[in-house]
Structure formats: C-alpha cells, structure tokens
Amino acid sequence: MTEFSTRDSFIVRVYRYDPATRGKLQGAVERIDGSGSNAPFKDTDELGAILSASLAAPDPKRRKSARAK
C-alpha cells in the first residue's frame, strides 16, 4: 500500500483557460509541503510534467517502510 503525505499534495491554480484550444491553459502548481515552491505552466503537458517530476523526486524525510524490499 502506498502512503501519501502532504509532500504528495498540491494546489493547482488555473488562471486562464481557452475552451477553443484544447489543452491551452495557464496557471501555477504550489506544493503544500512547506517549501513554498511554485511552478508556472502554460498547457496540460507542462502541468503533467510538473506533477510527475514532483512525485518522482525522492524525499529525504521519508523513510522506507520495513515491508519494502
């Protein structure tokens, strides 16, 4: 079972959306882990890349569980 923490949580703010152009939107992703990091995006591809990279990055605070071998 995967454990989730606030490290895995984000606030996604969408400021502009163009319904005529699929995938065209502007906004920012904010991590709520206390780091205060913000990452802007211009389309759904950038949004997906930011979220994927953030979830794939190792967390030095997170310990490996005894079950994970």
Instruction: List, for residues 14-62, the tens digit of each pLDDT value.
Output: 999 888 888 789 999 998 877 778 999 999 899 999 988 877 766 555 5
Closest C-alpha to 51, from 29, 23, 18, 21: 29
Question: What pTM, to 2 d.p., does this model score?
Answer: 0.66
State whether the Cα torsion 63-60-32-56 is positive or negative.
negative
